[in-house]
Amino acid sequence: MIFATEDVGRHAYGDYGVSTDSTSRTDGRANTAILVARTGKHPAAIAAAAYTAQSHTDFYLPAIGELHHGWQYAPESFSEEWYYLSSSQSSADSAYTMVFAGGWLHSYGKHHERLVRPVRRLLQ
């Protein structure tokens, strides 16, 4: 995995109260594809998918397991002061987030805006 070098703002997950199939905790690319293809609004997934760097256009909103890898292997490149949003839905009303200050995993309402850090895969 290759994380973007910067956040793309604070965005809500979207579709509060609506259950989606974006429940994978390890495959953010699949989750993001599901969210972007839906008719509802998914600002975080759209922002991550729209990110480009060094001619790469295959970024996505990471799953909670992928965010955890970022915390394990590159915590210094993330803000410790805010929650990062994942593409992993935990219920119709909430999605998983991570706090990099301590590696805490949480489930928060989809309407809350959280930091978004795009990621891409080295191997497709």
Token code pair at residue 5: 């070098």
The residue whose two tokens read 């795009």 is 118
Identify the band that residue 111 occupies on the pLDDT scale cut at 50, 70 and 90. very high
The Cα-based distances of 101 to 25, 82, 85, 94, 95 in angstroms read 20, 8, 14, 21, 19
What secondary structure does DSSP assign to 66-98, as a single string? HHHHHHHH-GGGS-SSSEEEEEEE-SSSEEEEE
What is the rounded CA–CA span in Å between residue 22 and residue 35? 7
Residues 52-63 pLDDT 10s: 999 999 999 999
Residues 32-59 pLDDT 10s: 999 999 887 999 999 999 999 999 999 9
